[in-house]
Structure 1
Amino acid sequence: MPSSVKTSVRASVSAALLLLVAGCGTSGGVRESGAASVSVRAAPPESAAPRLPREIPALGPRTRAALPETSRQALVVTGDAADDNRATAMLYERRDRRQGWRPVTDPWPAHNALRGWTDHHRQGDLKSPVGVYGLTDAGGRLPDPGTKLPYDRGAGFTARGTGFDGESLAGSFDYVIAVDYNRRPGVTPLDWTRPLGAGRGGGIWLHVDHGGPTQGCVSLPKARMKELLRTLDPADEPVVVMGDAQALGR
């Protein structure tokens, strides 16, 4: 090979090697001599959105706001309509505020007052009061089934007569839990003190279902009443949230 050709080939190879070395370490190919070095890094992953606490389904902002911050047990009793006397009850608990409420029972069938629900209960209106109320005191005709609530047993819990559908009321008060509507918490459910006055009614209880509508109370199957009594804990400040779906959704 002529020396002039060899010289030309060596020059071409040297130039290519210089270009290759100059381009190492760049992400976009050959870098111009004297250009600033740019470091390209993958974008950090976006932070996960904070997990919101679980809320009780179908409760609106006003009802949620009425739940005491210190309560960790809530029995939610929901009627389909304002004039309906059939309802569904479910117990919820919250052990960790960051996670919120979770159901701890299946839905239970329930009855409420003959004429449905009201947000201004009056004596004899045959409606159940809408709202959030404490559950602090229990009692019944039968022995204490193992509740942590104060339990008053006595003959005063004997139910007599028939209901609106002609059903016997016997056994309806075998187990009761007083709803803290127009009553003084911390006393037997048989106490008739009415802080709002007699005209605003009272004596609203959770009690054993007798197969028909009530005069103002909420009734549950007997086995469910026993389960509820054994589950509620005064240290958890239990409440009942009760009303028709539309009212509770506000």
Structure 2
Amino acid sequence: MPVHKGATALLCAGTLCAALLLSACASTAPPAPAAPAAASVPPASDARPAGAAPGGPGEPASSIASAPVPDPRIPGIGPATQALVPDGTGQALVVTGSTADDNTSTATLYERNPGGGWTATAGPWPTHNALRGWTADHTAGDLRTPIGVFRLDDAGGRLPDPGSRLPYDQDPEFAISGTGLSGEPLEGSFDHVIAIDYNRVPGRSPLDKERPLGAGKGGGVWIHVDHGGPTQACITLDREPLRRLIRALDPAEEPVIVMGPASDLAG
């Protein structure tokens, strides 16, 4: 059937309006929502830069490990004994007997580490102490070693200095002869000695005989070469450990000896 030219124009106009209407709807429709971003997956290992502290935002407090606090006490030493150790001390020779009446004991050198705790750096070494053991109230001739914390300031001996950083007095007067309390020979016992600052004037030769507490409180208490038996009051070490100890002690570390039966030192 023939179509009239006017009808054709009307049809074309209608089609164009429809197309424009559809185009306008498409341009004014709200944009489709964006797809959600992919969730961040944490790495299998801690990706914090080296040295970064844990506990960033969102990290639970329970996941932060607490750093261990170093024990400020020397091993085996109780609070009362530790309180006698000077704050500036960085070396401590601990000599421990099993009971108050023992004349054998064990010595270990401890040094304060950078974290504030204490580390054993030499020993344990076997030692002898006085024949009748230990006492907290030493008197001359009681054959007991004084209990306590004492400075180690001076060394000496019959033989040349083995490399001491403490003042060292080489003197022939350190020669000794005769026999000990168990009949053992004493020769060579004073080849090397370290003076224990019990009833003496620090800074002098171990041979010095001034007794600030009086002669009745004894004196001349040393660490010296072991002669195979108990002493009158001193502590002994085998020759090579004693030489090693003399070389190790550093006056800048204010070294001390902590000595006595284990039960007393643990107090």
Scaled by the length of structure 2, the TM-score of the pair is 0.76
Say whether 1:218 aligns with 2:218.
no
Question: How far is the alpha carbon of 1:42 from its aligned partner?
Answer: 6.0
- The 5 A counterparts of 1:82-101 are 82-96=100-114, 98-101=115-118
Say whether 1:43 aligns with 2:64.
no
Match of 1:33 in 2: none
Match of 2:225 in 1: 208
Match of 1:189 in 2: 206
- Residue type at the aligned position of 2:189: S
Match of 1:133 in 2: 150
Match of 2:133 in 1: 116
Matched-pair contact (CA < 8 Å) for 2:75–2:118? no
Match of 1:103 in 2: 120
Gaps of at least 5 residues in structure 2 are 1-32, 37-57
Match of 1:229 in 2: 246
Correspondent of 2:94 among 76, 83, 93 = 76
Change (3 A) 1:230 1:42: closer
Measured in 1, the distance between the counterparts of 2:131 and 2:258 equals: 19
Q: For residues 225-248 of structure 1, give each alpha carbon's deviation from its aligned partner in whole angstroms, at most 9, with x where no partner exists.
A: 100011001111110001011111
Say whether 1:176 aligns with 2:226.
no
Measured in 2, the distance between the counterparts of 1:75 and 1:82 equals: 19
Question: How far is the alpha carbon of 1:100 from its aligned partner?
Answer: 1.1
Say whether 1:149 aligns with 2:158.
no
Measured in 2, the distance between the counterparts of 1:215 and 1:42 equals: 64
User: In terms of Rg, which structure is larger?
Assistant: 2
Considering only aligned residues, what root-mean-square deviation do their CA atoms show, in Å?
A: 1.6
Q: Secondary structure at the match of 2:189?
A: coil
Match of 2:9 in 1: none
Measured in 2, the distance between the counterparts of 1:44 and 1:221 equals: 54
Measured in 2, the distance between the counterparts of 1:67 and 1:193 equals: 24
Measured in 2, the distance between the counterparts of 1:44 and 1:111 equals: 53
- Residue type at the aligned position of 1:76: V
- Residue type at the aligned position of 1:227: R
Measured in 2, the distance between the counterparts of 1:42 and 1:168 equals: 71
Measured in 1, the distance between the counterparts of 2:167 and 2:61 equals: 57
Match of 2:14 in 1: none
Gaps of at least 5 residues in structure 1 are 1-20, 25-40
Question: How far is the alpha carbon of 1:56 from its aligned partner?
Answer: 2.0
Question: How far is the alpha carbon of 1:50 from its aligned partner?
Answer: 4.6
Question: How far is the alpha carbon of 1:44 from its aligned partner?
Answer: 3.4
Match of 1:65 in 2: 83
Question: How far is the alpha carbon of 1:114 from its aligned partner?
Answer: 0.2
- The number of residues matched between the two structures is 212
- Residue type at the aligned position of 1:60: G
- Residue type at the aligned position of 2:78: G
Deviates further, 47-56 or 115-124: 47-56
